[in-house]
């Protein structure tokens, strides 16, 4: 679908597509930048372009960052962040997204952006990808909505495989390298399903995990069948297949043990325990609390844990944090200035995400 920007169209014409009583022009917008988990992830083929075809049930969740965008006067974006480890230049996924927006629409608009990070990186949670999707949405809102949702979804594939899914309504069956997005309406699972995210200090780099992947060792489960089973019977261990677990456990051997301990330590309170995306986050569905050993044992003191819930959005609106997360976020905001300098490289070429003391373990 070719985009034709009609410069003659006055901004006001676009404003009419806004809610009538919000005709006032705004020059800044505050948005929640959500993350996602993969309830199952089948890798079905190796592609000639070096990517892999996958078939995965993605669901947006209410763990997220905060982004503020303001129309800038100049010809350069200016990005600040609470997390000193986030790149602030052209390699930030927010800036990449704004560059794509300007290239596709021909609108030479630049922005001031502040990014308040909460989502760990190298986590399999699509944190940076969610930032990129949120940036495309913000740019479109602040320039009078020149692009449709379908166009933003199409353009987002140029930024990364995990970005397009955020332009679904929140639950989507994704194929291709992640850019073919099939909205699942209504969502296949109850939105108030509690889950806990547990991420060790060490992260997984997506390319390193895919490099270790081998098609011969992938599951033979039919992904459409997995989708049907989850929709009909709910989230059960046998449906939450992730073909990237084994390669991720090769990249990060301690992750396999952590997953096993969460399963056994959960004493049946989780209906399923699985790794999200390319890792390193382990998700326990059914209870918002990690197992007791995470609190008790010294070796898990630097583990990131967070309760999370599934999140959807209304047509024509962006994601809003759930009330639970909103309350939690308030506390987190005061934590965010506690962010500490994070080493960019760790063992196995991984990157670290260090979280402030008080946010690490929820008592
Ligand atoms: C594993 C998932 O996180 C599942 O949600 C995504 O498929 C990965 O999405 P992403 O992090 O946005 O990945 P991209 O930034 O697009 O690609 C990073 C690298 O991961 C590998 N990659 C990624 C996606 C894909 N379908 N096949 C791949 O082989 C490629 O080596 C690619 O160069
Ligand atoms: N806005 C951003 N937020 C976080 N990291 C970013 C951002 N922009 C670029 N990066 C860089 O991209 C790397 C990957 O970030 P992140 O892991 O959040 O991306 P993702 O692919 O969306 O998520 P994941 O692969 O963990 O599912 C980070 O290590 C960081 O160096």
**Where would I find the H helices in 67-126?**
93-105
Q: What is the largest CA-CA distance in the chain?
A: 64
**Residue nearest ligand 1's atom 4 by CA:** 277
Please name the CATH architecture into which domain 7-325 falls: 2-Layer Sandwich (3.30)
Q: What is the pLDDT of residues 195-222, one digit of tens each?
A: 999 999 999 999 999 999 999 999 999 9
Contact yes or no for 227/173 (Cβ under 8 A):
yes
Whole-number average pLDDT of the chain: 87
CA–centroid distance, 26 to ligand 1, in Å, is: 35
Choose between 344 and 225: higher pLDDT: 225
CA–centroid distance, 301 to ligand 1, in Å, is: 30
- Nearest CA among 28, 20, 163, 17 for reference residue 109: 28
CA–centroid distance, 23 to ligand 1, in Å, is: 40
Instruction: Check whether 251 has a pLDDT greater than 70.
Output: yes
CA distances (Å), origin 275, targets 115, 125, 228, 258: 26, 10, 20, 10
Q: What is the pLDDT of residues 143-183, one digit of tens each?
A: 999 999 999 999 999 999 999 999 999 999 999 999 999 99
Instruction: Check whether 334 has a pLDDT greater than 50.
Output: no
Instruction: Check whether 342 has a pLDDT greater than 50.
Output: no
Per-residue confidence (pLDDT) for residue 321, from 0 to 100: 87
The ligand whose atoms approach the alpha carbon of 164 most closely is: 1
In short, whether 279's Cβ falls inside 6 Å of ligand 2 is no
Q: Give how far the C-alpha of residue 115 lies from the chain's centroid of Cα atoms, to the nearest Å.
A: 15
- Distance, CA of 168 to CA of 150 (rounded, Å): 9
In short, whether 294's Cβ falls inside 6 Å of ligand 2 is no
pTM attached to this predicted model: 0.87
**Residue nearest ligand 2's atom 9 by CA:** 92
Report, as an integer, the average pLDDT of 260-289. Answer: 97
- Distance, CA of 196 to CA of 306 (rounded, Å): 6
ipTM rounded to 2 decimals = 0.97
Per-residue confidence (pLDDT) for residue 323, from 0 to 100: 66
Per-residue confidence (pLDDT) for residue 333, from 0 to 100: 39
């Amino acid at each position: 679908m070719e985009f034709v920007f009609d410069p003659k169209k006055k901004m006001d014409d676009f404003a009419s597509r806004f809610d009538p009583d919000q005709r006032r022009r705004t020059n800044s917008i505050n948005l929640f930048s959500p993350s996602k988990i993969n309830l199952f992830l089948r890798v079905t083929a190796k592609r000639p372009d070096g990517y892999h075809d996958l078939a995965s049930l993605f669901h947006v969740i209410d763990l997220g960052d905060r982004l503020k965008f303001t129309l800038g006067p100049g010809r350069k974006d200016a990005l600040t962040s609470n997390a000193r480890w986030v790149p602030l230049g052209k390699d930030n996924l927010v800036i990449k997204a704004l560059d794509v927006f300007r290239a596709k629409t021909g609108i030479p608009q630049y922005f001031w952006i502040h990014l308040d990070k909460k989502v760990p990186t190298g986590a399999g949670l699509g944190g940076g990808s969610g930032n990129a999707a949120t940036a495309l949405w913000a740019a479109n809102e602040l320039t009078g909505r020149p692009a449709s949702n379908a166009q933003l979804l199409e353009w987002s594939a140029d930024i990364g495989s995990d970005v397009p899914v955020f332009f679904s309504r929140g639950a989507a069956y994704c194929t291709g390298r992640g850019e073919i997005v099939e909205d699942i309406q209504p969502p296949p699972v109850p939105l108030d399903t509690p889950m806990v995210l547990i991420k060790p200090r060490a992260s997984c780099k997506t390319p390193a995990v895919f490099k270790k992947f081998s098609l011969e060792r992938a599951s033979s489960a039919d992904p459409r069948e997995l989708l049907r089973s989850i929709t009909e019977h709910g989230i059960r261990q046998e449906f939450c297949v992730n073909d990237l677990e084994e390669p991720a456990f090769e990249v990060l051997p301690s992750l396999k043990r952590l997953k096993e301990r969460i399963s056994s330590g959960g004493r049946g309170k989780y209906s399923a325990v699985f790794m999200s995306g390319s890792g390193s986050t382990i998700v326990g569905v059914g209870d918002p609390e990690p197992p007791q050993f995470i609190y008790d044992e010294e070796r898990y003191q630097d583990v990131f844990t967070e309760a999370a819930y599934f999140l959807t959005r209304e047509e024509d609106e962006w994601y809003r944090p759930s009330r639970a997360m909103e309350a939690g976020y308030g506390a987190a905001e005061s934590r965010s200035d506690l962010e500490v300098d994070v080493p960019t490289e760790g063992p196995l070429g991984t990157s670290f995400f260090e979280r402030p003391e008080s946010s690490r373990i929820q008592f």
